[in-house]
Amino acid sequence: MVAVLPDAARRVGTEYDYRERRGSATAGRLLKAIQLDSFFYSAVAENPARTREAVLVGFASSLVMGLGLMLMRIIPPISWLLGGLAWGALLLFGGSWFLVSIGRRLGGSAEFGQMLRPLGYAMAPQALGFVPLADFIPGFLVGATWSIACVVVAVREAQRIPTRLAAALVVAPIFVLIGVAPLVAIALGGGG
């Protein structure tokens, strides 16, 4: 049975109690991450011992997503490895830096490591990119959407800000990138 901690107690650095057998702890943490468990994200933000595992989860999910895109013949074979590593690094380290620097200006309180750990676990649903759900719904779209929801919860818990502000902090840059990417492609001569 999992103890439900009051709001103040769960943010002081207490470790979330899983009562799991040895060897299944990582799987249990991944399950809590994809279930959008706010207690989990708050606890992992305060636990520096989870940094290595969070980074490995982030990179592994990016590589699995890239492998799925390669198998669906969306990207060339070498691109899944290089692209997966680059995507993981960009999201983990660049995303953590961005979310901390902008989040602090908006009243957040997270340090870089406190943002990196929850963000790494929040990237886990990207691994659905390996699973082609249907011809018209690629798994990476479902995984990306689910991952965005996980990142919103992770940012809310790590920064200790309201959900609306966390959602704006996560979704606004996505819309900016969607708008800017075609302009960059045209400017670089790839626009036709």
Angle at 187 between CA 185 and CA 188, to 5 degrees: 65
Model confidence over 4-52: pLDDT tens digits? 444 444 444 445 444 444 557 888 899 999 999 999 999 999 999 999 9
Determine how many CB atoms are found less than 10 A away from the CB of residue 40: 24
Model confidence over 52-97: pLDDT tens digits? 999 999 999 988 887 777 776 666 777 777 877 888 899 899 999 9
Q: Where are the domains of the chain?
A: 27-187
Q: Using alpha carbons, select from 89, 79, 109, 92 the residue that is nearest to residue 147.
A: 92
Model confidence over 170-191: pLDDT tens digits? 999 888 888 887 888 788 876 5
pTM: 0.79
Q: Using alpha carbons, select from 160, 158, 166 the residue that is nearest to residue 47.
A: 158
3-state secondary structure 126-139: HHHHHCCCCCCCCH
Which segments of the chain does DSSP mark as H helices, in order?
A: 7-10, 25-34, 38-45, 51-71, 77-89, 95-105, 112-122, 139-159, 163-187
